[in-house]
Amino acid sequence: MTLIRLAIRSLGNRWLTALLTVLAIAVSVVLLLGVEKVRTGAKSSFANTISGTDLIIGARSGGVQLLLYSVFRIGNATNNMTWRSYQAISEHPEIAWTVPLSLGDNHHGFRVLGTQPGYFVRYKYRRNQTLKFNSGKPFSDLFDAVLGADVAAELGYKVGDPIIVAHGIGKIRTAEHDDKPFRVSGVLAKTGTPVDRTVHVGLEAIEAIHIDWRSGRRRQDLSVTADDVRKMKLKPKAVTAVMVGLKSRLSAFKVQRYVNTYRSEPLSAILPGATLYELWALIETAETALSIVSLMVVVTAILGMITMILATLNERRREIAILRSVGAGPRTVIGLLLLEAGILTFAGVITGVLTTYALLYSVRPVVDKVYGLYLEITPPSSFELLALGMIVIGGVIAGLFPALRAYKRSLTDGMTVRN
Protein backbone atom coordinates (compact mmCIF):
# COMPACT_ATOMS: atom_id res chain seq x y z
CA MET A 1 0.00 0.00 0.00
CA THR A 2 1.38 3.39 -0.84
CA LEU A 3 1.45 6.12 1.76
CA ILE A 4 -1.58 7.84 0.19
CA ARG A 5 -3.67 4.64 0.15
CA LEU A 6 -2.61 3.95 3.70
CA ALA A 7 -3.59 7.45 4.83
CA ILE A 8 -6.95 7.24 3.05
CA ARG A 9 -7.70 3.79 4.49
CA SER A 10 -6.65 4.91 7.95
CA LEU A 11 -8.99 7.89 7.66
CA GLY A 12 -11.74 5.61 6.37
CA ASN A 13 -11.29 3.58 9.52
CA ARG A 14 -12.10 6.73 11.53
CA TRP A 15 -14.58 8.14 9.05
CA LEU A 16 -16.91 9.86 11.51
CA THR A 17 -14.27 12.01 13.21
CA ALA A 18 -12.64 12.61 9.83
CA LEU A 19 -15.98 13.66 8.35
CA LEU A 20 -16.64 16.08 11.20
CA THR A 21 -13.19 17.59 10.76
CA VAL A 22 -13.73 17.98 7.01
CA LEU A 23 -17.09 19.63 7.71
CA ALA A 24 -15.56 22.02 10.26
CA ILE A 25 -12.92 23.08 7.74
CA ALA A 26 -15.54 23.27 4.98
CA VAL A 27 -17.73 25.57 7.08
CA SER A 28 -14.80 27.88 7.74
CA VAL A 29 -13.95 27.91 4.03
CA VAL A 30 -17.59 28.69 3.20
CA LEU A 31 -17.49 31.60 5.62
CA LEU A 32 -14.16 32.89 4.31
CA LEU A 33 -15.12 32.53 0.65
CA GLY A 34 -18.68 33.66 1.26
CA VAL A 35 -17.56 36.89 2.90
CA GLU A 36 -15.03 37.44 0.14
CA LYS A 37 -17.54 36.65 -2.64
CA VAL A 38 -20.21 38.91 -1.14
CA ARG A 39 -17.63 41.66 -0.56
CA THR A 40 -16.22 41.54 -4.09
CA GLY A 41 -19.66 40.79 -5.54
CA ALA A 42 -21.14 43.82 -3.82
CA LYS A 43 -18.25 45.96 -5.00
CA SER A 44 -18.49 44.79 -8.57
CA SER A 45 -22.27 45.01 -8.46
CA PHE A 46 -21.97 48.63 -7.36
CA ALA A 47 -19.12 49.38 -9.73
CA ASN A 48 -20.99 47.80 -12.65
CA THR A 49 -24.19 49.71 -12.00
CA ILE A 50 -23.16 52.84 -13.80
CA SER A 51 -20.79 53.28 -16.67
CA GLY A 52 -20.21 55.99 -19.22
CA THR A 53 -21.67 58.73 -17.02
CA ASP A 54 -19.06 61.35 -16.21
CA LEU A 55 -20.85 63.35 -13.54
CA ILE A 56 -23.98 63.14 -11.43
CA ILE A 57 -25.49 66.38 -10.25
CA GLY A 58 -27.99 66.88 -7.47
CA ALA A 59 -28.92 69.22 -4.65
CA ARG A 60 -26.04 69.99 -2.28
CA SER A 61 -25.36 66.92 -0.14
CA GLY A 62 -22.64 64.39 0.57
CA GLY A 63 -21.21 62.73 -2.52
CA VAL A 64 -21.91 59.21 -1.29
CA GLN A 65 -25.50 60.09 -0.45
CA LEU A 66 -26.06 61.61 -3.90
CA LEU A 67 -24.61 58.52 -5.55
CA LEU A 68 -26.68 56.17 -3.40
CA TYR A 69 -30.06 57.75 -4.01
CA SER A 70 -29.58 58.70 -7.65
CA VAL A 71 -27.95 55.52 -8.95
CA PHE A 72 -28.64 52.80 -6.41
CA ARG A 73 -32.09 53.99 -5.27
CA ILE A 74 -30.90 53.77 -1.66
CA GLY A 75 -32.11 56.47 0.70
CA ASN A 76 -33.69 59.76 -0.26
CA ALA A 77 -32.62 63.08 -1.67
CA THR A 78 -32.42 65.85 0.90
CA ASN A 79 -33.61 68.33 -1.67
CA ASN A 80 -34.39 68.69 -5.34
CA MET A 81 -32.70 70.67 -8.06
CA THR A 82 -34.79 73.25 -9.88
CA TRP A 83 -35.64 72.72 -13.51
CA ARG A 84 -34.20 76.14 -14.28
CA SER A 85 -30.80 75.18 -12.85
CA TYR A 86 -30.96 71.92 -14.75
CA GLN A 87 -31.56 73.74 -18.02
CA ALA A 88 -28.84 76.27 -17.34
CA ILE A 89 -26.26 73.64 -16.51
CA SER A 90 -27.25 71.54 -19.53
CA GLU A 91 -26.15 74.38 -21.73
CA HIS A 92 -22.59 74.37 -20.41
CA PRO A 93 -20.31 74.12 -23.46
CA GLU A 94 -18.36 71.17 -22.04
CA ILE A 95 -21.49 69.05 -21.49
CA ALA A 96 -22.43 66.66 -24.29
CA TRP A 97 -25.68 65.27 -22.87
CA THR A 98 -27.81 65.21 -19.74
CA VAL A 99 -30.51 62.88 -18.47
CA PRO A 100 -32.71 64.21 -15.64
CA LEU A 101 -33.91 61.81 -12.95
CA SER A 102 -36.91 62.34 -10.72
CA LEU A 103 -37.57 59.98 -7.83
CA GLY A 104 -40.24 60.02 -5.16
CA ASP A 105 -43.03 57.59 -6.03
CA ASN A 106 -43.35 53.83 -5.99
CA HIS A 107 -45.29 50.93 -7.38
CA HIS A 108 -45.66 48.03 -4.93
CA GLY A 109 -42.38 49.08 -3.28
CA PHE A 110 -40.48 49.45 -6.57
CA ARG A 111 -39.11 52.95 -7.11
CA VAL A 112 -40.69 54.98 -9.89
CA LEU A 113 -38.15 56.98 -11.87
CA GLY A 114 -39.23 59.92 -13.98
CA THR A 115 -36.84 60.52 -16.82
CA GLN A 116 -36.59 61.15 -20.54
CA PRO A 117 -36.40 58.61 -23.39
CA GLY A 118 -32.70 59.47 -23.70
CA TYR A 119 -32.20 57.51 -20.47
CA PHE A 120 -32.54 54.23 -22.37
CA VAL A 121 -29.71 55.27 -24.68
CA ARG A 122 -27.43 57.12 -22.27
CA TYR A 123 -27.63 54.88 -19.22
CA LYS A 124 -24.85 52.33 -19.43
CA TYR A 125 -23.73 49.60 -17.06
CA ARG A 126 -21.06 46.89 -16.81
CA ARG A 127 -18.40 48.17 -19.21
CA ASN A 128 -20.62 50.35 -21.37
CA GLN A 129 -23.49 47.94 -21.99
CA THR A 130 -26.69 49.71 -23.00
CA LEU A 131 -30.19 48.86 -21.83
CA LYS A 132 -32.07 46.37 -24.00
CA PHE A 133 -35.78 45.75 -24.22
CA ASN A 134 -37.09 42.26 -23.64
CA SER A 135 -40.39 43.43 -25.08
CA GLY A 136 -42.07 46.68 -26.08
CA LYS A 137 -40.38 50.04 -26.48
CA PRO A 138 -39.55 53.26 -24.60
CA PHE A 139 -42.45 55.46 -23.55
CA SER A 140 -44.13 57.45 -26.29
CA ASP A 141 -47.41 58.34 -24.57
CA LEU A 142 -47.56 60.51 -21.44
CA PHE A 143 -48.72 57.59 -19.29
CA ASP A 144 -46.43 54.93 -20.70
CA ALA A 145 -44.19 53.04 -18.27
CA VAL A 146 -41.10 50.91 -18.90
CA LEU A 147 -40.51 48.20 -16.31
CA GLY A 148 -37.25 46.77 -15.08
CA ALA A 149 -36.90 42.99 -15.58
CA ASP A 150 -37.50 42.13 -11.89
CA VAL A 151 -40.58 44.36 -11.59
CA ALA A 152 -42.19 42.63 -14.57
CA ALA A 153 -41.14 39.17 -13.39
CA GLU A 154 -42.25 39.61 -9.78
CA LEU A 155 -45.54 41.32 -10.50
CA GLY A 156 -46.29 39.33 -13.66
CA TYR A 157 -46.67 42.34 -15.92
CA LYS A 158 -46.45 42.38 -19.68
CA VAL A 159 -46.68 45.07 -22.32
CA GLY A 160 -50.12 46.66 -22.35
CA ASP A 161 -50.94 45.97 -18.69
CA PRO A 162 -52.19 48.92 -16.60
CA ILE A 163 -50.29 49.95 -13.47
CA ILE A 164 -51.02 52.50 -10.79
CA VAL A 165 -48.28 54.52 -9.15
CA ALA A 166 -48.43 55.26 -5.42
CA HIS A 167 -47.23 58.47 -3.80
CA GLY A 168 -44.04 58.35 -1.78
CA ILE A 169 -41.39 55.67 -1.58
CA GLY A 170 -42.30 53.64 1.48
CA LYS A 171 -43.24 50.00 1.20
CA ILE A 172 -46.38 50.73 3.15
CA ARG A 173 -49.16 51.37 0.72
CA THR A 174 -49.91 55.10 0.59
CA ALA A 175 -52.21 57.24 -1.46
CA GLU A 176 -52.30 56.17 -5.06
CA HIS A 177 -52.42 58.14 -8.25
CA ASP A 178 -55.25 55.89 -9.32
CA ASP A 179 -56.95 58.56 -11.35
CA LYS A 180 -54.05 58.52 -13.77
CA PRO A 181 -53.12 54.92 -14.51
CA PHE A 182 -50.08 54.04 -16.59
CA ARG A 183 -49.75 51.42 -19.31
CA VAL A 184 -46.70 49.18 -19.65
CA SER A 185 -45.02 50.09 -22.92
CA GLY A 186 -41.89 48.03 -22.54
CA VAL A 187 -39.99 45.60 -20.31
CA LEU A 188 -36.22 45.87 -20.05
CA ALA A 189 -33.82 42.92 -20.14
CA LYS A 190 -32.12 41.90 -16.88
CA THR A 191 -29.07 44.02 -16.07
CA GLY A 192 -28.16 43.00 -12.53
CA THR A 193 -28.45 46.66 -11.49
CA PRO A 194 -31.14 48.68 -9.64
CA VAL A 195 -32.66 49.38 -13.07
CA ASP A 196 -34.20 45.90 -12.86
CA ARG A 197 -36.23 47.02 -9.86
CA THR A 198 -37.33 50.38 -11.24
CA VAL A 199 -40.49 51.56 -12.97
CA HIS A 200 -39.52 54.17 -15.57
CA VAL A 201 -41.97 56.84 -16.61
CA GLY A 202 -41.66 60.13 -18.45
CA LEU A 203 -40.57 63.22 -16.53
CA GLU A 204 -43.75 64.97 -17.70
CA ALA A 205 -45.80 62.06 -16.34
CA ILE A 206 -44.39 62.70 -12.86
CA GLU A 207 -45.53 66.27 -13.24
CA ALA A 208 -48.93 65.12 -14.55
CA ILE A 209 -49.75 62.78 -11.66
CA HIS A 210 -48.82 65.47 -9.13
CA ILE A 211 -50.62 68.31 -10.83
CA ASP A 212 -53.58 68.14 -8.43
CA TRP A 213 -51.49 67.26 -5.38
CA ARG A 214 -49.97 69.55 -2.77
CA SER A 215 -47.71 68.67 0.17
CA GLY A 216 -48.11 64.97 -0.44
CA ARG A 217 -51.91 65.04 -0.54
CA ARG A 218 -54.52 65.20 -3.24
CA ARG A 219 -55.96 68.71 -3.42
CA GLN A 220 -59.60 68.97 -2.48
CA ASP A 221 -60.13 72.10 -4.53
CA LEU A 222 -58.70 70.82 -7.80
CA SER A 223 -59.18 67.67 -9.79
CA VAL A 224 -57.54 67.13 -13.17
CA THR A 225 -58.44 64.02 -15.13
CA ALA A 226 -55.96 62.04 -17.19
CA ASP A 227 -57.55 63.27 -20.39
CA ASP A 228 -57.40 66.87 -19.24
CA VAL A 229 -53.78 66.64 -18.24
CA ARG A 230 -52.79 65.33 -21.67
CA LYS A 231 -53.94 68.67 -23.13
CA MET A 232 -51.84 70.67 -20.69
CA LYS A 233 -48.32 71.90 -21.33
CA LEU A 234 -46.37 70.13 -18.61
CA LYS A 235 -43.07 71.50 -17.46
CA PRO A 236 -41.19 69.90 -14.55
CA LYS A 237 -40.48 72.17 -11.64
CA ALA A 238 -37.62 70.16 -10.21
CA VAL A 239 -35.58 67.01 -10.67
CA THR A 240 -33.83 64.80 -8.13
CA ALA A 241 -30.55 64.36 -9.98
CA VAL A 242 -28.99 64.63 -13.40
CA MET A 243 -26.74 62.21 -15.23
CA VAL A 244 -24.15 64.08 -17.25
CA GLY A 245 -21.94 63.06 -20.16
CA LEU A 246 -19.05 65.35 -21.06
CA LYS A 247 -17.55 66.10 -24.44
CA SER A 248 -14.16 65.33 -22.93
CA ARG A 249 -13.42 63.59 -19.67
CA LEU A 250 -10.55 65.98 -19.18
CA SER A 251 -13.07 68.68 -18.36
CA ALA A 252 -14.69 66.66 -15.55
CA PHE A 253 -13.09 68.64 -12.73
CA LYS A 254 -13.76 71.91 -14.46
CA VAL A 255 -17.48 71.16 -14.83
CA GLN A 256 -17.59 69.74 -11.29
CA ARG A 257 -16.15 72.98 -9.95
CA TYR A 258 -18.63 74.97 -12.05
CA VAL A 259 -21.57 73.05 -10.55
CA ASN A 260 -20.24 73.08 -7.01
CA THR A 261 -19.89 76.87 -7.17
CA TYR A 262 -23.16 77.45 -9.01
CA ARG A 263 -24.55 80.64 -7.58
CA SER A 264 -28.29 80.36 -8.10
CA GLU A 265 -28.66 77.16 -6.09
CA PRO A 266 -26.47 74.99 -3.84
CA LEU A 267 -25.63 71.95 -5.97
CA SER A 268 -23.18 69.06 -5.89
CA ALA A 269 -21.50 67.28 -8.79
CA ILE A 270 -19.80 63.96 -8.24
CA LEU A 271 -17.62 61.68 -10.32
CA PRO A 272 -19.29 58.26 -9.87
CA GLY A 273 -16.01 56.27 -9.86
CA ALA A 274 -14.31 58.55 -7.33
CA THR A 275 -17.37 58.55 -5.08
CA LEU A 276 -17.49 54.74 -5.17
CA TYR A 277 -13.97 54.74 -3.73
CA GLU A 278 -15.24 57.00 -0.93
CA LEU A 279 -17.97 54.43 -0.31
CA TRP A 280 -15.42 51.58 -0.15
CA ALA A 281 -13.36 53.59 2.33
CA LEU A 282 -16.48 53.99 4.48
CA ILE A 283 -17.17 50.28 4.65
CA GLU A 284 -13.54 49.19 4.84
CA THR A 285 -13.60 48.81 8.63
CA ALA A 286 -16.61 46.52 8.47
CA GLU A 287 -14.92 44.52 5.70
CA THR A 288 -11.76 44.16 7.77
CA ALA A 289 -13.78 43.03 10.79
CA LEU A 290 -15.58 40.43 8.66
CA SER A 291 -12.30 39.17 7.22
CA ILE A 292 -10.81 38.85 10.72
CA VAL A 293 -13.85 36.87 11.90
CA SER A 294 -13.52 34.55 8.86
CA LEU A 295 -9.83 34.05 9.55
CA MET A 296 -10.56 33.25 13.18
CA VAL A 297 -13.06 30.62 12.05
CA VAL A 298 -10.41 29.07 9.78
CA VAL A 299 -7.88 29.01 12.63
CA THR A 300 -10.50 27.43 14.92
CA ALA A 301 -11.22 24.73 12.33
CA ILE A 302 -7.51 23.93 11.96
CA LEU A 303 -7.16 23.78 15.75
CA GLY A 304 -10.11 21.39 15.74
CA MET A 305 -8.30 19.23 13.21
CA ILE A 306 -5.15 19.15 15.38
CA THR A 307 -7.33 18.16 18.33
CA MET A 308 -8.94 15.38 16.29
CA ILE A 309 -5.58 14.00 15.14
CA LEU A 310 -4.16 14.26 18.67
CA ALA A 311 -7.24 12.58 20.16
CA THR A 312 -6.91 9.65 17.80
CA LEU A 313 -3.17 9.32 18.30
CA ASN A 314 -3.57 7.09 21.32
CA GLU A 315 -5.75 4.63 19.46
CA ARG A 316 -3.30 4.79 16.57
CA ARG A 317 -0.18 3.93 18.59
CA ARG A 318 -0.59 0.31 17.61
CA GLU A 319 -0.97 1.24 13.93
CA ILE A 320 2.21 3.30 14.12
CA ALA A 321 4.03 0.49 15.95
CA ILE A 322 2.95 -1.93 13.20
CA LEU A 323 4.24 0.37 10.50
CA ARG A 324 7.54 0.83 12.32
CA SER A 325 7.94 -2.93 12.79
CA VAL A 326 7.57 -3.56 9.05
CA GLY A 327 10.20 -0.99 8.22
CA ALA A 328 8.43 2.37 8.20
CA GLY A 329 10.80 4.99 9.55
CA PRO A 330 9.92 8.06 11.58
CA ARG A 331 9.79 9.98 8.32
CA THR A 332 7.06 7.67 7.06
CA VAL A 333 5.14 8.02 10.34
CA ILE A 334 5.44 11.81 10.22
CA GLY A 335 4.66 11.80 6.50
CA LEU A 336 1.57 9.70 7.08
CA LEU A 337 0.16 12.08 9.67
CA LEU A 338 1.06 15.14 7.60
CA LEU A 339 -0.59 13.50 4.60
CA GLU A 340 -3.64 12.82 6.70
CA ALA A 341 -3.78 16.47 7.78
CA GLY A 342 -3.29 17.48 4.14
CA ILE A 343 -6.06 15.17 2.92
CA LEU A 344 -8.46 16.42 5.62
CA THR A 345 -7.70 20.07 4.89
CA PHE A 346 -7.83 19.58 1.13
CA ALA A 347 -11.13 17.70 1.38
CA GLY A 348 -12.46 20.45 3.66
CA VAL A 349 -11.36 23.15 1.24
CA ILE A 350 -12.87 21.39 -1.80
CA THR A 351 -16.12 20.73 0.10
CA GLY A 352 -16.13 24.36 1.25
CA VAL A 353 -15.56 25.71 -2.27
CA LEU A 354 -18.30 23.52 -3.77
CA THR A 355 -20.70 24.42 -0.94
CA THR A 356 -19.94 28.12 -1.38
CA TYR A 357 -20.76 27.97 -5.08
CA ALA A 358 -23.89 25.90 -4.43
CA LEU A 359 -25.00 28.46 -1.82
CA LEU A 360 -24.14 31.40 -4.06
CA TYR A 361 -26.11 29.84 -6.86
CA SER A 362 -29.13 29.23 -4.64
CA VAL A 363 -29.15 32.51 -2.66
CA ARG A 364 -28.31 34.77 -5.59
CA PRO A 365 -31.95 35.32 -6.61
CA VAL A 366 -32.89 36.04 -2.97
CA VAL A 367 -30.02 38.51 -2.46
CA ASP A 368 -30.88 40.15 -5.77
CA LYS A 369 -34.54 40.45 -4.77
CA VAL A 370 -34.09 41.54 -1.15
CA TYR A 371 -30.93 43.64 -1.36
CA GLY A 372 -30.81 44.49 -5.06
CA LEU A 373 -27.31 43.03 -5.11
CA TYR A 374 -26.49 41.01 -8.18
CA LEU A 375 -23.75 38.55 -7.20
CA GLU A 376 -21.84 37.37 -10.22
CA ILE A 377 -20.68 33.75 -10.02
CA THR A 378 -17.07 33.81 -11.09
CA PRO A 379 -14.21 31.31 -10.60
CA PRO A 380 -12.12 31.86 -7.44
CA SER A 381 -9.97 34.96 -7.75
CA SER A 382 -6.20 34.78 -7.36
CA PHE A 383 -6.59 36.14 -3.82
CA GLU A 384 -9.16 33.48 -2.98
CA LEU A 385 -6.96 30.75 -4.49
CA LEU A 386 -4.05 32.09 -2.45
CA ALA A 387 -6.19 32.04 0.72
CA LEU A 388 -7.33 28.46 0.01
CA GLY A 389 -3.73 27.41 -0.69
CA MET A 390 -2.68 29.00 2.60
CA ILE A 391 -5.40 27.04 4.43
CA VAL A 392 -4.14 23.75 2.96
CA ILE A 393 -0.52 24.63 3.77
CA GLY A 394 -1.60 25.83 7.24
CA GLY A 395 -3.45 22.55 7.78
CA VAL A 396 -0.42 20.48 6.78
CA ILE A 397 1.88 22.57 8.98
CA ALA A 398 -0.62 22.22 11.84
CA GLY A 399 -0.44 18.45 11.31
CA LEU A 400 3.27 18.64 12.10
CA PHE A 401 2.58 18.96 15.82
CA PRO A 402 0.67 15.67 16.22
CA ALA A 403 3.06 14.07 13.72
CA LEU A 404 6.09 14.93 15.85
CA ARG A 405 4.26 13.71 18.92
CA ALA A 406 3.43 10.43 17.19
CA TYR A 407 7.07 10.07 16.16
CA LYS A 408 8.24 10.68 19.72
CA ARG A 409 5.76 8.12 20.99
CA SER A 410 6.80 5.57 18.37
CA LEU A 411 10.33 5.82 19.75
CA THR A 412 9.22 5.05 23.28
CA ASP A 413 6.61 2.47 22.29
CA GLY A 414 9.08 0.31 20.41
CA MET A 415 7.29 -2.73 19.05
CA THR A 416 4.80 -3.24 21.82
CA VAL A 417 1.80 -1.09 22.57
CA ARG A 418 -0.53 -2.28 25.24
CA ASN A 419 -3.36 0.24 25.24
Partner 1 sequence: MAEAKTSRNDGTASDIVKMSDLRFAWPGVRKFQISIDEFALATRSRTLLLGPSGSGKSTLLSLLCGIATPQSGRIELLGTEITCLGNAARDRFRAEHIGVIFQMFNLLPYGSPVDNVILPLSFAAERRKRAQACHNARTEAKRILCDLGIEGDLLNGAACELSVGQQQRVAAARALIGSPELIVADEPTSALDKVREGSFLDLLFAQVEAAGSTLIVVSHDQTLAPHFDQVLLLNEIVRPEPQP
Q: Which residues bind partner 1 (CB under 8 A)?
A: 1-2, 6, 9-10, 12-13, 318-319, 321-332, 411-412, 414-416
Nearer to partner 1, 93 or 327 (CB): 327
Nearer to partner 1, 365 or 414 (CB): 414
Strand partners, 176: 166
Contact (Cβ atoms closer than 8 angstroms) between residue 296 and residue 87:
no
From the CB of 415, what's the least distance to partner 1, in Å? 5
From the CB of 1, what's the least distance to partner 1, in Å? 6
From the CB of 349, what's the least distance to partner 1, in Å? 24
C-alpha 158/C-alpha 339 separation (Å) is 59
Nearer to partner 1, 9 or 219 (CB): 9
From the CB of 419, what's the least distance to partner 1, in Å? 10
C-alpha 188/C-alpha 257 separation (Å) is 35
From the CB of 283, what's the least distance to partner 1, in Å? 51
C-alpha 415/C-alpha 409 separation (Å) is 11
Nearer to partner 1, 209 or 323 (CB): 323
Nearer to partner 1, 73 or 316 (CB): 316
- Non-local (6+) Cβ contacts of 299 within 8 A are none
Q: How is the chain split among helix, strand and coil, in percent rounded to 5?
A: 55, 15, 30
Q: Is the alpha carbon torsion for 64, 66, 68, 74 positive or negative?
A: positive
- Non-local (6+) Cβ contacts of 81 within 8 A are 57, 58, 59, 238, 239, 240, 241, 242, 265, 267
Question: What burial letters (b/e) apply to 142-160, b meaning 16+ CB within 10 Å?
Answer: bbbbbbbbbbbebbebebe
Q: What is the DSSP letter of 252?
A: H
Nearer to partner 1, 122 or 316 (CB): 316
C-alpha 129/C-alpha 126 separation (Å) is 6
From the CB of 9, what's the least distance to partner 1, in Å? 4
Question: What burial letters (b/e) apply to 113-133, b meaning 16+ CB within 10 Å?
Answer: bbbbbebbebbbbbeeeebee
Nearer to partner 1, 191 or 312 (CB): 312
From the CB of 194, what's the least distance to partner 1, in Å? 57
Nearer to partner 1, 366 or 415 (CB): 415
From the CB of 333, what's the least distance to partner 1, in Å? 10
